[in-house]
């Protein structure tokens, strides 16, 4: 039998008589032990027998009584049970069976077992329902007493009772893989009746169980472990401890005393003694565990600590119950019975060990393994806490978990320190428990060193082995950011990442080409940031450690002047450390810098600076680089521009010479063909040309000039390339620079060698050289790089613009009483503290986020939210840092400063987004790593192929070689041609364009998104969003506004009896005192309708939870007379907005007519007002007519709340209130569907409301009544079906699902937790941005693909052409043409990405025009609603075949006349699109939209 407890939510109870009815009715049911119903909490806590009842049957029973019951928690909790031993008197009038059945009839008794001699009954009961004394009095006429059973030595029973407290069972358990398995077994077995203690060891694959054999058998335990999915076998048959008869008797007595007496004994441990025993024969922790678990099971032992190193056991025991000798024998009897136990002389005097004794007084320490720390402390980072109530709820829930000793949660530090028992729980379990509550919990990357309660050890803690310390240090991982300059393409990125990963102490590295930033996770014990920067510098890049990057709030860098010696340093450090709120301080005399960590909740940066100033030193902030200078690529642009100009200056003459030679050569060949000149004449003519004139034998003017012009370009223009290429080759990698250097150097060296050989041989004919190639190559490459950096600077513009929005200074003011300005001072924006009053003048930027406390103004927030219209700000409104104040001066109170401001967070998000790699880019990086070696190979193959082809068949070369003439030898022609082809291959290949394809597009995409109010956190979500197939919307706050609004007011009396304005004024005034959201909605509506800021006076206000309010209202005449002119207009307005039911069928009571006559004089009249539900009206003697009741039911069917209002005892109005749907929701859903996406609504709300909302926005699949934890499961379920899921939500309860979804989209007005968990954040509360984000993703991915096509076409087409594959069709490339093509490929890719800047969000007007006539509300039959997590929907109301045929035919007719919608359409009683836009308050229309 198992008792379970469950909480059912009960709706519809109005008073205590309902409570009593439910308690009596359910309490009488079979198998119900106890029921407690609460009217306030609207729930019932039921303890029941799980064999006789289930949550569903209980829910049904409450339903049958006319109440609504919901299961709040789908997992019933097991109930704590207690056991009592009862002695049955020998002269009992009843048999033992009758006594058993009499006991079992009582509520709270779960089980009764009889001993074999029928003298003792073991009764298991629920202590929260009955206690031991009540159990004794349960059988009338029989005197039962709590005691031990009589045991005669030698009977079979005797052994079983003696084992009652001392049977230890060892089981081998196979199939365990992790600590979750061990906790599963411990949790399951530990709950069984009769199990006293269980410890499962993962390392030894065994379970040690201490149990009571009269309540459970060893076989049953084994069977239960197997039922959990593990294989279990007995290591040794269980056996009792070998103890003497006297000890047995003592043990038995202590065991069977009622639980109350045992508690008393454990609490008063003053009469315990401590003994230290020497134990020989222990080999491992398993022996330690055996002894501890067996001996601690003895009731007379309060605690035991066994030390394997010292071969000792320190036992705290009760000498009245057990002697040292018996303890010694008990230890020796522990399996495997090989331990030798003795009493060492030096331990005779226990007084020497007062510390030990004091620690042993705590029974907590009983079970533990000495080699294990007794408790450990873990610090868990918790995000999403907003107030102390969050702190209390976390502490309350976690402290209840098994194994948790203590917990302290800090709201300011966003973390919780938990002391726990590592044998019972682990940090991961604790973290997930906190996450289950809806907070974001993470374990620190640097695990806090486990805090061990060392006091029970006799050795000093200093003797910890050095190996252990190293182990602890290696666990710590720190993170630093390094600014990297000089990266040009993905090859550079791959190069840095690959080389740094090989270094010791570096865990991971992520390099961002665009942001010029590397994020490195490293082990501070092995390597430090400056060494990491040096490693990057060795690779040929500029690298500096970014000091301020990634530092959170509470860190201050100061420059301190006036320090002269070490005592100044000490003075500053010691004073600061004594200051409340300063956590850490380090001052360096050499650099004059102070590094201070502080708690921003307690102290601010100005206070710290003041403390230092008071000591007599001058101090100022270390200026942070606020400009985004590293993003604009100015330095690189300058460098490449210079390089281009230098190369160009020398290149132009070279090109002139080349063109001249080409013209002359073509004239010569023409002369040769037309004038039939002999080859000797040709040679003579050739050598007589000016440029062919030989200065020295073999050295012509042409070659000499080419050499002179080429040399500076090769040396100065190519200097940068040589350095980079050298560094790359040194680290066994190849990048773009290696290709360029190879091409130019080979050309230059080959030419020089040929020239020197010719001079040595004093050749008559001048050799052909390639001196023209390097200058032309360098010109095109530097031009390409220059243009590329200009374009890269453009792509980072969005981020640079965001960074430049930040204000640099703030004006802080001091206010006196009545907000009088006492003083104001200009301070650095970093010195603004939370709570400061900041003054912002017209035209000024808001330096921090804050709340307006004085002044009115318009504020331009367009750069942050994308909202074009200025926003009005008055006291109480929030302002965002970076937005611009337009016309009025404002005083604001700072709420978020420094790195916490919205702008800083946006900058951080955008920066992280642009530095994170899209998965598609990782492929490109990999590709470019293999690219360079392949190209070099192709180039070499080309060289040898053409040499071979040339010598085999010279005619081919002769035919296609430009500028061939007979004066050159055939061998030279072949080699020159082969070199030209291979150099062209090197020139044309370009991995840069591949590397730029993704990051430039991602960068522009995220930048454009940020400008449109869509923050995308990285390349991955940007790329993933286009693969999404299902979009899941949360309801409250996402599809709906999240706050109730009045959707319709129905007046139940004629306007001439109670003017409508007057009724609204009375009702609005009455509800102005109510704190209920519905009351606030009514007041807001009345104020809006009456166009008034204040209403009348409300007295005698009473509220009855769940029913309504009653009060007296006065002073509304002034309000009505003041608005006298507007009354007429308002009446007209109300006629259009509210269809007043004037043709009431019932005649109006005459009482109203008298009541309605307003006095001519302005005497204040008192109205008695009742507002509430039907129950409240009937309690106050008012009859609700059938028509009104029907209208209310119709509203309720649509998921609204209908409230009745009565003035002076007459029902005069019905107000319908609902959480209204956002106006753009329907269009957004329609557009998403038209994009081919499936749209699902998921909500924790009831199915009625969910169905109603779904029908309004056009969603057909709904999951209602889904718990936050089940939202995650639901998303997972959709993903398991092979669909990519986007989740759109706003609240803490959505954050786990947002994190689980492939793309989480958070509405910017939502909670911080949701925004943290999401991948995409919509700054504006506009669902059309969901459409825009998916559209932007699709456009970006399309652009990335186009870029890849550009990049690959250049290489795939260019390389074969360069290699001469297409020579037969006359396609030949010169090296300079190759480099021009290469430069063009990089530039074209970047320009292609920049086209994304033209992106326009899909405009709602266009989409609405396109969707005109096609959007329609869904009928209930088209919506499938699934309750909870199950797939089987409750479907839709069952329609007969005929109904369905009629519906379908109507629907098809509707679609034909979509503009003139038939009144009798399927969507009966739902408004059409046009009425929604006009917003008519039709009687049945959902005017919410």
Note the pLDDT of residue 913: 55
Instruction: Please report how many Cα atoms fall inside a 13 Å half-sphere around the Cα of residue 503, on the Cβ side.
Output: 25
818 to 694, 821, 840: CA distances (angstroms): 98, 9, 19
* pLDDT band of 1471, cuts 50, 70, 90: very low
Percent of the chain with pLDDT over 90: 9
Residue ranges with strand state E in 795-941: 809-815, 821-828, 837-840, 849-854, 857-860, 871-873, 878-879, 884-885, 890-896
Q: How do residues 1151-1187 score in pLDDT, each as one tens digit?
A: 333 333 344 445 678 899 999 988 899 888 888 889 9
b/e for 1289-1320, b at 16 or more Cβ within 10 A? Answer: bbbbbbbbbbbbbbbbbbbbbbbbbbbbbbbb
Note the pLDDT of residue 1207: 93
d(CA 350, CA 1183): 84
* pLDDT band of 265, cuts 50, 70, 90: very low
* Contact status, residue 330 vs residue 298, Cβ threshold 8 Å: yes
Note the pLDDT of residue 608: 92
The H-or-E segment that residue 1021 falls in is: helix 1019-1024
Note the pLDDT of residue 486: 78
Q: How do residues 594-614 score in pLDDT, each as one tens digit?
A: 989 888 768 888 889 999 999
- Residue 158 Ramachandran class (φ > 0 left, ψ -120 to 50 alpha, else beta): alpha
Q: What is the chain's mean pLDDT, rounded?
A: 76
Burial class (CB in 10 A: 0-12, 13-18, 19+), 1073: middle
Note the pLDDT of residue 1467: 34
Between 255 and 1411, the higher pLDDT residue: 1411
Nearest CA among 937, 935, 939, 952 for reference residue 978 = 939
* Reported pTM: 0.47
Q: How do residues 847-872 score in pLDDT, each as one tens digit?
A: 998 889 999 888 887 766 655 567 88
Dihedral sign, Cα of residue 49, residue 54, residue 59, residue 62: negative
Note the pLDDT of residue 612: 93
Note the pLDDT of residue 1191: 92
Q: What are phi and psi of 1359, to 5 degrees?
A: -60, -50
* pLDDT band of 371, cuts 50, 70, 90: very low
One-letter-per-residue 3-state SS of 1038-1092: HHEEEEEEEEEEEECCCCCCCCHHHHHHHHHHHHCCCCCHHHHHHHHHHHHHHCC
Q: What angle do CA 817, 815, 888 make, to 5 degrees?
A: 115
Note the pLDDT of residue 113: 82
* pLDDT band of 1269, cuts 50, 70, 90: low
* pLDDT band of 1133, cuts 50, 70, 90: low
What's the length of the chain? 1489
Contacts of 1314 (CB under 8 A, 6+ apart): 1289, 1290, 1291, 1292, 1294, 1295, 1298, 1306, 1307
Between 1250 and 687, the higher pLDDT residue: 1250
1145 to 596, 1054, 1141, 1154, 1188: CA distances (angstroms): 79, 12, 10, 20, 12
**Token pair for residue 290?**
């055996």
- Catalytic residue numbers, as ranges: 1034
Note the pLDDT of residue 1312: 61
The verdict on whether omega for the bond into residue 336 sits within 30 degrees of 0, i.e. cis, is: yes
Note the pLDDT of residue 839: 94
DSSP three-state, residue 440: strand
d(CA 751, CA 775): 14
User: Among 29-38, 204-213, 970-979, which stretch is predicted with the lowest mean pLDDT?
Assistant: 970-979
Dihedral sign, Cα of residue 258, residue 260, residue 263, residue 265: negative
How large is the average pLDDT for residues 1229-1254?
A: 88
User: Among 518-522, 1226-1230, 1474-1478, which stretch is predicted with the lowest mean pLDDT?
Assistant: 1474-1478
Contacts of 670 (CB under 8 A, 6+ apart): none
* pLDDT band of 149, cuts 50, 70, 90: very low
DSSP three-state, residue 744: helix
Share of the chain residues as helix, strand and coil, in percent rounded to the nearest 5: 45, 20, 35
Nearest CA among 1170, 1159, 1160, 1132 for reference residue 1055 = 1132
Q: What is the DSSP secondary-structure string of 492-503?
A: HHHHHHHHHHTS
Contacts of 1205 (CB under 8 A, 6+ apart): 1063, 1067, 1070, 1169, 1170, 1171, 1211, 1212, 1213, 1214, 1215
**Token pair for residue 1294?**
């959505």
**Token pair for residue 1488?**
């919410």
Kind of pairing between the strands at 478-485 and 699-700: unpaired
DSSP bridge partners of 169: 209
**Token pair for residue 36?**
């407690």
The most confident of 465-469, 1124-1128, 1333-1337, by mean pLDDT: 1333-1337
* pLDDT band of 248, cuts 50, 70, 90: very low
Q: What is the DSSP secondary-structure string of 1222-1256?
A: PTTHHHHHHHHHHTT-EEEEE-SS-HHHHHHHHHH
Q: How do residues 688-745 score in pLDDT, each as one tens digit?
A: 666 677 788 778 888 888 888 888 888 877 888 888 888 888 877 766 677 778 778 8
């Amino acid at each position: 039998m198992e008792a379970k407890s469950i909480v059912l939510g009960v709706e519809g109870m109005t008073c205590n008589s309902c409570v009593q009815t439910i308690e009596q009715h359910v309490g009488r049911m079979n198998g119900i032990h106890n029921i407690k119903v609460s009217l306030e909490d609207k729930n019932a806590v039921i303890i029941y027998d799980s064999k006789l009842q289930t949550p569903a049957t209980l829910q049904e029973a409450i339903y049958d009584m006319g109440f609504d019951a919901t299961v709040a928690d789908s997992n019933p909790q097991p109930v704590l049970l207690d056991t009592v031993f009862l002695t049955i008197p020998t002269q009992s009038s009843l048999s033992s069976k009758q006594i058993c059945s009499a006991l079992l009839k009582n509520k709270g008794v779960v089980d009764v077992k009889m001993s074999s001699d029928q003298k003792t009954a073991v009764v298991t009961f629920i202590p929260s329902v009955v206690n031991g004394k009540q159990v004794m009095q349960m059988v009338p006429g029989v005197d039962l007493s709590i005691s031990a059973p009589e045991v005669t030595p030698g009977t079979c029973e005797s052994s079983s009772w003696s084992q009652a407290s001392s049977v230890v069972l060892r089981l081998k358990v196979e199939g365990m893989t992790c600590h979750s398995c061990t906790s599963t077994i411990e949790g399951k077995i530990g709950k069984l009746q009769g199990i006293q203690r269980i410890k499962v060891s993962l390392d030894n694959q065994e379970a040690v169980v201490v149990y009571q054999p009269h309540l459970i058998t060893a076989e049953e335990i084994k069977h239960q472990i197997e039922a959990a999915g593990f294989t279990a076998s007995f290591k040794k048959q269980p056996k009792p401890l070998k103890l003497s008869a006297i000890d047995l008797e003592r043990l038995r007595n202590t065991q069977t005393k009622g639980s109350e007496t045992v508690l008393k004994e454990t609490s008063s441990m003053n009469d315990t003694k401590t003994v230290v025993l020497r134990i020989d024969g222990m080999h491992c922790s398993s022996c330690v565990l055996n002894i501890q678990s067996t001996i601690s099971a003895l009731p007379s032992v309060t605690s035991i600590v066994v030390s394997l190193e010292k071969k000792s056991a320190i036992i705290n025991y009760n000498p009245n119950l057990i002697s040292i000798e018996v303890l010694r024998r008990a230890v020796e009897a522990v399996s495997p019975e090989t331990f030798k136990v003795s009493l060492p002389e030096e331990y005779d005097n226990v007084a020497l060990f007062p510390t030990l004794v004091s620690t042993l007084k705590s029974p907590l320490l009983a079970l533990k393994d000495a080699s294990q720390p007794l408790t450990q402390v873990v610090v868990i980072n918790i995000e999403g806490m907003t107030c102390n109530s969050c702190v209390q709820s976390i502490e309350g829930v976690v402290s209840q978990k098994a194994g948790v000793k203590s917990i302290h949660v800090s709201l300011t530090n966003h973390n919780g320190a938990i002391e726990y028992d590592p044998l019972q729980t682990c940090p991961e379990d604790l973290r997930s428990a906190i996450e289950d509550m809806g907070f974001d919990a993470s374990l620190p990357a640097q695990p806090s060193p486990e805090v061990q309660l060392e006091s029970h050890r006799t050795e000093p803690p200093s003797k910890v082995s050095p190996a252990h310390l190293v182990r602890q240090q290696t666990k710590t991982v720190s993170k630093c950011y390094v600014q990297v300059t000089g990266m040009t393409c993905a090859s550079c990125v791959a190069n840095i990442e690959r080389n740094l990963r090989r270094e010791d102490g570096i865990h991971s590295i992520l390099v961002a080409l665009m942001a010029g930033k590397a994020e490195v996770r490293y082990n501070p014990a092995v390597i430090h940031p400056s060494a990491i920067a040096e490693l990057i510098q060795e690779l040929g890049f500029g690298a500096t450690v970014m000091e301020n990057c990634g530092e959170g709030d509470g860190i201050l860098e100061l420059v301190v002047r006036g320090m002269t010696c070490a005592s100044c340093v000490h003075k500053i450090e010691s004073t600061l450390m004594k200051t409340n709120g300063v956590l850490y301080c380090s001052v360096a005399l050499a650099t004059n810098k102070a590094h201070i960590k502080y708690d921003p909740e307690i102290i601010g940066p100005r206070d710290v600076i003041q403390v230092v100033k008071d000591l007599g030193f001058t101090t100022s902030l270390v200026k942070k680089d606020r400009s985004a200078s590293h993003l604009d690529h100015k330095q690189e642009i300058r460098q490449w521009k210079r390089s281009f100009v230098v190369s160009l200056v020398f290149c132009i003459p070279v090109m002139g010479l080349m063109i001249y030679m080409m013209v002359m050569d073509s004239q010569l060949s023409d002369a040769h063909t037309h004038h039939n000149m002999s080859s000797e004449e040709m040679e003579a003519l050739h050598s007589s040309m000016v440029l062919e004139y030989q200065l020295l034998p073999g050295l012509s003017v042409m070659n000499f000039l080419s050499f002179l012009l080429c040399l500076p370009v090769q040396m100065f223009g190519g200097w940068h390339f040589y350095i980079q290429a050298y560094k790359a080759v040194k680290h066994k990698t190849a990048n773009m620079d290696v290709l360029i250097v190879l091409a130019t150097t080979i050309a230059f060296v080959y030419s020089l060698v040929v020239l020197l050989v010719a001079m040595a041989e004093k050749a008559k004919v001048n050799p052909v050289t390639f001196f023209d190639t390097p200058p032309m190559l360098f010109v095109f490459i530097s031009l390409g790089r220059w243009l590329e950096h200009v374009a890269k600077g453009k792509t980072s513009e969005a981020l640079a613009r965001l960074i430049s929005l930040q204000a640099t200074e703030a004006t802080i003011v001091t206010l006196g009483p009545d907000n009088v300005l006492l003083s104001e001072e200009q301070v650095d924006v970093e010195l603004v503290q939370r709570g400061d009053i900041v003054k912002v003048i017209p035209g000024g930027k808001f330096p921090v986020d804050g709340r307006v406390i004085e002044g009115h103004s318009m504020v331009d927030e367009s750069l942050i939210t994308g909202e074009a219209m200025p926003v009005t700000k008055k006291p109480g409104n929030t302002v965002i840092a970076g937005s611009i104040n337009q016309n009025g001066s404002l005083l604001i109170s700072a709420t978020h400063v420094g790195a916490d401001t919205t702008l800083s967070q946006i900058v951080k998000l955008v920066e992280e987004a642009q530095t994170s790699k899209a998965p598609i880019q990782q492929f490109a990086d990999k590709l470019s790593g293999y690219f360079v070696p392949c190209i070099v190979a192709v180039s070499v193959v080309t060289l040898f192929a053409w040499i071979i082809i040339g010598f085999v068949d010279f005619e081919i070369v002769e035919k296609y070689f430009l500028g061939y003439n007979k004066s050159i030898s055939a061998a030279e022609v072949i080699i020159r041609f082969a070199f030209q082809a291979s150099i062209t291959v090197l020139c044309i290949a370009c991995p840069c364009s591949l590397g730029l394809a993704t990051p430039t597009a991602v960068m522009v995409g995220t930048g454009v998104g940020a400008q449109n109010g869509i923050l995308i956190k990285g390349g991955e979500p940007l790329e993933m969003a286009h693969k999404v197939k299902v979009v899941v919307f949360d309801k409250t706050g996402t599809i709906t506004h999240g706050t109730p609004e009045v959707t319709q007011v129905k007046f139940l009396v004629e306007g001439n009896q109670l003017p409508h304005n007057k009724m609204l004024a009375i009702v609005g005034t009455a509800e102005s005192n109510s704190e209920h959201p519905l009351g606030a909605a009514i007041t807001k509506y009345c104020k809006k309708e009456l166009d008034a800021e204040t209403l009348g006076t409300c007295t005698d206000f009473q509220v009855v939870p769940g029913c309504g309010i009653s009060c007296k209202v006065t002073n509304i005449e002034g309000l009505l007379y003041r608005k006298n002119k507007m009354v007429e207009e308002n009446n007209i307005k109300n006629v259009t907005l509210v269809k007043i039911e004037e043709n009431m069928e019932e005649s109006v009571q005459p009482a109203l007519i008298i009541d309605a006559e307003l006095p001519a004089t302005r005497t204040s009249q008192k109205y008695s007002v009742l507002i509430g539900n039907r129950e409240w009206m009937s309690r106050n003697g008012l009859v609700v007519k059938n028509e009104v009741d029907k209208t209310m039911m119709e509203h309720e069917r649509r998921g609204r709340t209908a409230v009745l209002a009565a003035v002076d005892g007459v029902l005069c109005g019905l107000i319908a209130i609902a959480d209204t749907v956002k106006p753009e929701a329907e269009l957004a859903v329609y557009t998403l569907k038209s994009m081919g996406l499936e749209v699902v609504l998921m909500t924790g709300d009831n199915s009625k409301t969910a169905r109603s909302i779904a029908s309004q926005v056009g969603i057909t699949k709904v999951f209602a009544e889904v718990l936050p934890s089940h939202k995650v499961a639901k998303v997972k379920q959709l993903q398991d079906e092979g669909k990519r899921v986007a989740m759109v939500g706003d609240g803490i309860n959505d954050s786990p699902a947002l994190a689980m979804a492939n793309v989480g989209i958070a509405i910017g007005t939502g909670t911080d937790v949701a925004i943290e968990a999401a991948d995409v954040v919509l700054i504006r509360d506009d669902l059309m941005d969901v459409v825009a984000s998916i559209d932007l993703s699709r456009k970006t991915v399309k652009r990335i693909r186009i870029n890849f096509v550009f990049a690959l076409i250049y290489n795939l087409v260019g390389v074969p052409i360069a290699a001469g594959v297409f020579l037969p069709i006359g396609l030949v490339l010169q090296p300079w043409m190759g480099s021009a093509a290469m430069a063009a490929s990089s530039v074209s890719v970047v320009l292609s990405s920049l086209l994304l800047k033209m992106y326009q969000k899909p405009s709602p007007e266009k989409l609405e025009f396109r969707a005109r006539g096609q959007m329609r509300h869904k009928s209930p039959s088209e919506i499938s609603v699934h309750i909870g997590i199950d797939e089987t929907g409750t479907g839709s109301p069952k329609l007969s075949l005929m109904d369905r045929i009629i519906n379908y035919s109507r629907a098809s007719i509707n679609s034909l006349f979509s503009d003139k919608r038939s009144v009798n359409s399927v969507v009966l009683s739902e408004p059409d699109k046009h009425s929604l836009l006009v917003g008519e308050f039709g009687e049945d229309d959902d005017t919410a939209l």
